[in-house]
Chains A and B, each alone.
Chain A
Amino acid sequence: MFGRNGSKPQNRSTTTHVTDDGSIVRSESVVRTYTTGTDKVTALRGVDFSVARGEMVAVMGPSGCGKTTLLNCLSGLDSVDGGRVWIEGTDISTLKDRQRTDYRAKRMGFIFQVYNLLPVLSAVENVELPLLVGGMRPHQARVVANEALATVGLGEWAKHRPAELSGGQRQRVTIARSLVNNPAIVWADEPTGALDSHTASEIIGLMRSLNASAGLTLVIVTHDPGVGAQCDRIVRMSDGEIVGQDAVIVVPPVSAPFVSTHA
């Protein structure tokens, strides 16, 4: 990955912490309820979940099953109403907003759908933003951000604004931004949702290669079975609960990935 001094990826084992069971993310009985008007909707019903260091996990399920809510609660974007969430051994469910925000800035990366770059900033300015939030010197941040863009193949597009980039390019910028602060884990919500199949394949390939080459931990919420098939594990959700977990075995060379065992 990209060190704060602009150096190439460090040994991840020196920068990540794991919980007792070896997982980087662990949740117990996570409950999240929303109130819409007079109705209460329980989006998560006591979810237990864990992700191992260096694992690439897909969370799949039908619309409204709670995938994005799970990602938000695990990443600290949202608070939980019950249960606990540990990231690298830190119980983020007990942290205050300010602490959770700091934690996100320093230890997490996010990939959203294509429109979640700041349109008024150039590609490199978008990528360096997490570094600036973390307090890095502007000049140093610019060097690191340019390296991150080069890694995702956009070195030449650094000064372009999102509106001047294609959907795939924009998502590469998002990936560069998610990696630039050397995160313990990257959360991706429908990263290929707005892309054509070819571009989606390129993007997921890029994520896979980063996972493989740098041991990046990724949790991906997706509808796309093709994306799920590229992951190490698929977690299936329905009605706010995890209903199954599948390990993915890739059968080379011609057949499509398939799901083997049912947990």
Chain B
Amino acid sequence: MKDIFGVPMNAIMITLLILLAVCVVTVAWVALRRPVIFKLGMRNMPRRRHQSAIVVSGLMLSTLIIAAALGTGDTMDHSVTGNVYENLGAVDELVVASKDKVANVDLASEGAFPVANFDAVEAAVAGDAQIDGLMPQLDARAAVINETRQLAEPDIILSGVDPARIEAFGGLTTPDGKTIDLAGLPSDGVVLSEALASDLGAVTGDTLTIFYDDAPTTWTVAAIAKDSYLSGTRRGYSSGFETSGLAMPLSALQDLTGQPGMLSAIAISNAGGVYGGVNATDDVVATLDTALSSQGLGVDPIKQDRVDAAEKFSTIFTGLFLVLGLFSIAAGVLLIVLIFTMLAAERRSEMGMERALGTHRRQLIQQFVSEGSGYALLAGVIGSALGVGAAYGIATVMSMFFGDYVPIEPKVTIRSIVVAYCAGVVITFFTVVLASWKISRVNIVAAVRDIPDVSVHHRNRQTLVWGVLLLVAGGLLTFMGVSNMQAFFFMSGMSLLPFGIALILGFLGAPARPVYSAIGVALLVFWLLPDNVFKAIFGDYSSGVELFFVSGIVLVIATTLLLVTNLDLLLMGLSHLSGVFRSTLPAMRTAIAYPSATRGRTGMTIAMFSLIVFSLVMMATMNTNYSAAASGDEANAGWHVRADQIGPKPIADFTGTLTSKGVDTSQFEAVGVTHKPTLADPQARVSGNDPAWKRYPVYGMEASFIDNSTLMFDQRAKGYETDEAIVNALRTQPNVVVADAFAVPQDGNLGVADDAFSLTGLKSDDKVFDPITVDLLSPSDGSTHQVTVIGILDSRIGSLLGLYAAQPTIDTVYNQTATTSYFVALRNPDQAAGVARNIEAALLSNGVQGNSIRDELKEQQSLENGFLYIIEGFMGLGLLVGIAAVGVIAFRSVVERRQQIGVMRALGFQRRTVALSFMIETTFLVGLGGFAGTVLGLLLSRNLLTSSDSGLTDTTFIVPWTILIVIVVLTNVAALAMTWVPAIQAGRIAPAEALRYE
């Protein structure tokens, strides 16, 4: 993983190391110049070990979350790039017939070139020290049957490699590492990749029938090789899916395919080995470009492109985890403040005494910072270690979900550990400094006598200054937002303005309750405005994923303000309610009195739980609603089975052929056909807007498909205001296409689709848009054809992805067919899986693969759900922060209230009543935070899901009750479990002893 959010990881590490050095030097300065102050701070750690353990547990959580996020990124990086290196081996570049130098050339469809080109290339690079191997190769796609086991695969890669040159590329090896002698194979011998052998249940000696171009030939399994590029295993660049294959001598494949003397590619191996060779790619590509200039060939830097793509994928993954982890990190920061506030409360008398004896405020800060740094340095170590453990745990779960697609191998780099450690320590250090500064403002007399500070409200010029500063900052941000139509700046600015106004009103003597209540309400209304109302009032702003975090923070602050400012009213109501349960009334009375008396602490705890629950509820709700939409009846566009056939010769009468082969077609309600012109996605771009060609699937629809599909559209071009108008245009007008919803640029995609084709300029909430002209590049002659996008398919149709046009339009552009898909609508959709199997069995010799569309959608959904569960699990780490906070508060409260507990016991409180009081207090705080987080999460999700750009406008909003109940129950049970021990301890305090306590 090279960067996060575009910032190089090395730069991040160096910056954090510098900041860490600043922290350490600051503390070292205190230790050297003020050794007494340093010792006063540090001595608390060994003296109060139990307390130190609790503090360290709380402080480490931010580090843990950062380390887990970075470690997960490393794991993805290592697994995906590792898979690239393992698959490609020594192959660094491919010389291909394609001239566009775009990655993902599908060798089997890009065309072949004569072997003479190989000789010319070899001569041109002879003596180049950066190239240590060249190998001619030929690729083809075919269907295969293992006659011995009667198992088949309709689409495999046939890899023809030169036995004389394969050794320079590492050769073919068996899974247990033995070399396979390709030159020594019998004339009908082939080497199966391990994956294909597994699919076919094949072992050495089995008989295979290979159908190339519908013609069967018989072969024998001579050996089984490790999955690799050489043994025919290819991974799609955009799909990411692997196609398995088999290898045979180049000449044998040339004979089989009827292409004697022809090649698909020349594999190039750079000097430097499997991992180091890629460093020479830029030089080698430059050399080859010169050498190939007159030959009509191009270079595909396959390894470099794949490694870059893998790194980009892992960077996006890490970014996503970090952004979602921000909620937990924010909660962790609140926990640090809370911990130090409580430490200060405990030591208030001591601090007052020190101040009375002449200790300066800055020295108190230095003392706390020394102690805090000690905790932070230790917590960083533990947090990093546990974060690495969490990353391994996440990797294990990922392997369960995605292991079939990419082998997941956990790995956390030293750099990530250093970054997580430094980030954790630095965050803690600066939070401690701020908390210490606040704590040091102690009233000496009140502290010495251990009585509450009497706060006298008087006009403070600082308040006015802060008020004005906030107004200015808010105004500037709002202006920036309005100027650039960026929601992040606009909404952040608009959220700061009320605080500035409140401080100025406070300076002018306005009472706090109405002012801050009004701020809370105003911010809640502003952020929870329905999308259409917001746009009607403020306009249409663009936003990214960062707004999710900001929205959570602001909504939680607003709610906490509202709750804490009006806590007494809330408690009054609860107090009255508690009268119903007279036996618990004394416990209830004290349980709600304490949070009411310590509003800062209460506010922080409520905010922490709100933040965490908010993020979990948001994620769960969005996931549930999108899952429901994607698995709805609309997803299949009216089709239940899809049979894919590779090759340029479609079956003329699909139903008739099946009937003739004994398949019961009476249950077929309709059959529709689409064709894809090329195996690899063709290239397209928005005319005039985007000079770069991007690959995107393109399909031609026969009339049977258009007529029998249930085509619905989210967005329609002007002049095509209804679904019927678009469908009619597809039937009757040339050069019109429709696109799936993924072609529309999305806000907040973390850069996922940066290099993917998109209809730039179109927004997902443009329900009516000007028709968009798109250029399509014909690979056969390099000519450009223009088509017009007139509709965007409903995002719920998950089975149609790409640009779809009537077949005559596609024929005009490409004049070729690479694959054909036969869609079948069944009278009884429940039979889809069986029908798919029957079709595949009947048409195996045609290389047809049958699929149940419902099963495909389910599998796709289960993968997406698996990913989201992992994300939710990661975000659930934040619950540890909240639960730790409850533990810290409860343990500290028992110490703080020891004497008061003695009084309560003297007055007749039973042990269980004292314990119950603590449990009720926890339930109250956690319940309030959880309730606020749940309501906010649901409201914001509802707004987003019902907004015009969600793509789900026609669906009913689903509340994920089961997940909500799990979140609420888990949160409360865990919090109560953390309170249990201190509550019991509190109950066991001997009254006589407590009353003596000082």
Chain A interface residues toward B at CB < 8 A:
68-69, 72, 75, 77-78, 97-98, 101-102, 104-106, 110, 112, 115-121, 125, 129-130, 132-135, 137-139, 163, 177, 189
* Complex A-B, nearest 4 residue pairs according to Cβ-Cβ distance, in ascending order: A105-B908, A78-B992, A120-B597, A72-B992
Question: Across the interface, do A98 and B900 meet the contact criterion of CB distance under 8 Å?
Answer: no
Specify which chain A residues have a CB less than 8 angstroms from the CB of B913 in the assembled complex.
Answer: 133
B991 proximal to A (CB < 8 A): yes
Question: Across the interface, do B454 and A163 meet the contact criterion of CB distance under 8 Å?
Answer: yes
Convert B901-925 into 0s and 1s, putting 1 for each residue whose CB lies closer than 8 angstroms to a CB of A: 0111111111101000000000000
Contact of B908 among A68, A120, A134 (CB under 8 A): A134
Specify which chain A residues have a CB less than 8 angstroms from the CB of B990 in the assembled complex.
Answer: 78
Smallest beta-carbon distance A202→chain B, Å: 21
Specify which chain B residues have a CB less than 8 angstroms from the CB of A102 in the assembled complex.
Answer: 908, 910
Question: Across the interface, do B593 and A132 meet the contact criterion of CB distance under 8 Å?
Answer: no
Residue of A nearest to B590 (CB): A118
Residue of B nearest to A71 (CB): B992
Contact of A77 among B451, B452, B579, B906 (CB under 8 A): B906
- Compute how far the CA of A102 lies from the CA of B910 in the bound complex, rounded to whole angstroms: 8
Q: Told that A98-B910, A132-B582 touch, could you supply 12 new A-B pairs with CB distance under 8 A? A: A75-B906, A77-B905, A77-B991, A98-B911, A105-B908, A110-B907, A120-B594, A121-B590, A125-B589, A133-B913, A163-B451, A177-B907
Residue in B583, B590, B904, B995 whose Cβ sees the most chain A Cβ within 10 Å: B995
Specify which chain B residues have a CB less than 8 angstroms from the CB of A105 in the assembled complex.
Answer: 907-908
Question: Across the interface, do A138 and B579 meet the contact criterion of CB distance under 8 Å?
Answer: yes
Residue of A nearest to B910 (CB): A101
Contact of B589 among A110, A132, A137 (CB under 8 A): A132
Specify which chain B residues have a CB less than 8 angstroms from the CB of A78 in the assembled complex.
Answer: 990-993
Specify which chain B residues have a CB less than 8 angstroms from the CB of A189 in the assembled complex.
Answer: 995
Given contacts A78-B990, A125-B589, A135-B583, contact A119 B597 (CB under 8 A): yes
Question: Across the interface, do B995 and A112 meet the contact criterion of CB distance under 8 Å?
Answer: yes
Question: Across the interface, do B597 and A137 meet the contact criterion of CB distance under 8 Å?
Answer: no
- Compute how far the CA of A110 lies from the CA of B909 in the bound complex, rounded to whole angstroms: 13
- Compute how far the CA of A139 lies from the CA of B585 in the bound complex, rounded to whole angstroms: 12
Residue of A nearest to B903 (CB): A116
Given contacts A129-B589, A163-B451, contact A118 B900 (CB under 8 A): yes
Specify which chain B residues have a CB less than 8 angstroms from the CB of A121 in the assembled complex.
Answer: 589-590, 593
- Compute how far the CA of A163 lies from the CA of B450 in the bound complex, rounded to whole angstroms: 10
Residue of B nearest to A68 (CB): B996
- Compute how far the CA of A95 lies from the CA of B902 in the bound complex, rounded to whole angstroms: 19
Specify which chain B residues have a CB less than 8 angstroms from the CB of A75 in the assembled complex.
Answer: 906
Given contacts A77-B995, A78-B990, A119-B900, contact A101 B909 (CB under 8 A): yes
Specify which chain A residues have a CB less than 8 angstroms from the CB of B454 in the assembled complex.
Answer: 163
Smallest beta-carbon distance B293→chain A, Å: 85
Interface residues of B in 959-998 (CB under 8 A from A): 990-993, 995-996
Specify which chain A residues have a CB less than 8 angstroms from the CB of B586 in the assembled complex.
Answer: 129, 132-133
Smallest beta-carbon distance A226→chain B, Å: 24
B596 proximal to A (CB < 8 A): yes
B621 proximal to A (CB < 8 A): no
Pick 12 A–B contacts, CB within 8 A, sort by A: A77-B906, A77-B995, A104-B907, A104-B908, A112-B906, A116-B902, A117-B903, A120-B594, A133-B909, A137-B582, A138-B579, A139-B579
Interface residues of B in 540-580 (CB under 8 A from A): 579
- Compute how far the CA of A208 lies from the CA of B225 in the bound complex, rounded to whole angstroms: 103
B264 proximal to A (CB < 8 A): no
Question: Across the interface, do B911 and A97 meet the contact criterion of CB distance under 8 Å?
Answer: yes
- Compute how far the CA of A138 lies from the CA of B586 in the bound complex, rounded to whole angstroms: 10
Convert B593-607 into 0s and 1s, putting 1 for each residue whose CB lies closer than 8 angstroms to a CB of A: 110110000000000
Residue of A nearest to B453 (CB): A163
Residue of B nearest to A121 (CB): B593
Specify which chain A residues have a CB less than 8 angstroms from the CB of B992 in the assembled complex.
Answer: 69, 72, 77-78
Smallest beta-carbon distance A234→chain B, Å: 23
Question: Across the interface, do B906 and A115 meet the contact criterion of CB distance under 8 Å?
Answer: no
Given contacts A78-B990, A105-B907, A105-B908, contact A132 B585 (CB under 8 A): yes
Specify which chain B residues have a CB less than 8 angstroms from the CB of A104 in the assembled complex.
Answer: 906-908
Question: Across the interface, do B907 and A129 meet the contact criterion of CB distance under 8 Å?
Answer: yes
B318 proximal to A (CB < 8 A): no
Specify which chain A residues have a CB less than 8 angstroms from the CB of B450 in the assembled complex.
Answer: 115
- Compute how far the CA of A138 lies from the CA of B576 in the bound complex, rounded to whole angstroms: 9
Given contacts A97-B911, A110-B907, contact A138 B585 (CB under 8 A): yes
- Compute how far the CA of A210 lies from the CA of B410 in the bound complex, rounded to whole angstroms: 77
Specify which chain B residues have a CB less than 8 angstroms from the CB of A130 in the assembled complex.
Answer: 907-908
Specify which chain A residues have a CB less than 8 angstroms from the CB of B907 in the assembled complex.
Answer: 104-105, 110, 129-130, 133, 177
- Compute how far the CA of A262 lies from the CA of B579 in the bound complex, rounded to whole angstroms: 54
- Compute how far the CA of A137 lies from the CA of B597 in the bound complex, rounded to whole angstroms: 24
B941 proximal to A (CB < 8 A): no
Smallest beta-carbon distance A76→chain B, Å: 9
Smallest beta-carbon distance A186→chain B, Å: 12
- Compute how far the CA of A150 lies from the CA of B308 in the bound complex, rounded to whole angstroms: 82
- Compute how far the CA of A173 lies from the CA of B452 in the bound complex, rounded to whole angstroms: 18
Convert B875-918 into 0s and 1s, putting 1 for each residue whose CB lies closer than 8 angstroms to a CB of A: 00000000000000000000000011011111111110100000
Question: Across the interface, do B995 and A118 meet the contact criterion of CB distance under 8 Å?
Answer: no
Smallest beta-carbon distance B596→chain A, Å: 7
Smallest beta-carbon distance A87→chain B, Å: 14
Contact of B582 among A115, A125, A135 (CB under 8 A): A135
Residue in B451, B583, B903 whose Cβ sees the most chain A Cβ within 10 Å: B903
Specify which chain A residues have a CB less than 8 angstroms from the CB of B899 in the assembled complex.
Answer: 115-116
Contact of B593 among A68, A118, A139 (CB under 8 A): A118
Specify which chain A residues have a CB less than 8 angstroms from the CB of B906 in the assembled complex.
Answer: 75, 77, 104, 110, 112
Convert B348-368 into 0s and 1s, putting 1 for each residue whose CB lies closer than 8 angstroms to a CB of A: 000000000000000000000
Smallest beta-carbon distance A95→chain B, Å: 13
Smallest beta-carbon distance A107→chain B, Å: 10
- Compute how far the CA of A137 lies from the CA of B594 in the bound complex, rounded to whole angstroms: 22
Contact of A116 among B590, B593, B910, B995 (CB under 8 A): B995
Residue of A nearest to B580 (CB): A138
Question: Across the interface, do A119 and B452 meet the contact criterion of CB distance under 8 Å?
Answer: yes
Smallest beta-carbon distance A204→chain B, Å: 21
- Compute how far the CA of A117 lies from the CA of B596 in the bound complex, rounded to whole angstroms: 16
Smallest beta-carbon distance A134→chain B, Å: 7
- Compute how far the CA of A135 lies from the CA of B908 in the bound complex, rounded to whole angstroms: 11
Residue of A nearest to B454 (CB): A163
Specify which chain A residues have a CB less than 8 angstroms from the CB of B582 in the assembled complex.
Answer: 132, 135, 137-138
Interface residues of B in 612-631 (CB under 8 A from A): none
Specify which chain B residues have a CB less than 8 angstroms from the CB of A110 in the assembled complex.
Answer: 903, 906-907
- Compute how far the CA of A120 lies from the CA of B450 in the bound complex, rounded to whole angstroms: 14
Residue of A nearest to B594 (CB): A120
Contact of A120 among B596, B902, B993 (CB under 8 A): B596
Smallest beta-carbon distance B451→chain A, Å: 6
Specify which chain A residues have a CB less than 8 angstroms from the CB of B593 in the assembled complex.
Answer: 118, 120-121, 125
- Compute how far the CA of A72 lies from the CA of B994 in the bound complex, rounded to whole angstroms: 11
- Compute how far the CA of A147 lies from the CA of B450 in the bound complex, rounded to whole angstroms: 30
- Compute how far the CA of A42 lies from the CA of B586 in the bound complex, rounded to whole angstroms: 36
Given contacts A138-B585, A163-B454, contact A118 B904 (CB under 8 A): yes
- Compute how far the CA of A118 lies from the CA of B913 in the bound complex, rounded to whole angstroms: 16
Specify which chain A residues have a CB less than 8 angstroms from the CB of B900 in the assembled complex.
Answer: 116, 118-119
Residue of A nearest to B900 (CB): A118
Residue of B nearest to A163 (CB): B452
- Compute how far the CA of A135 lies from the CA of B579 in the bound complex, rounded to whole angstroms: 11
Residue of A nearest to B452 (CB): A163
Specify which chain B residues have a CB less than 8 angstroms from the CB of A77 in the assembled complex.
Answer: 905-906, 991-992, 995
- Compute how far the CA of A116 lies from the CA of B908 in the bound complex, rounded to whole angstroms: 14
Question: Across the interface, do B905 and A101 meet the contact criterion of CB distance under 8 Å?
Answer: yes
Specify which chain B residues have a CB less than 8 angstroms from the CB of A120 in the assembled complex.
Answer: 590, 593-594, 596-597
Smallest beta-carbon distance A53→chain B, Å: 22
Residue of A nearest to B995 (CB): A112
Specify which chain B residues have a CB less than 8 angstroms from the CB of A135 in the assembled complex.
Answer: 582-583
Residue of A nearest to B583 (CB): A135
- Compute how far the CA of A189 lies from the CA of B905 in the bound complex, rounded to whole angstroms: 16
Residue of A nearest to B595 (CB): A120
Specify which chain A residues have a CB less than 8 angstroms from the CB of B451 in the assembled complex.
Answer: 115, 163
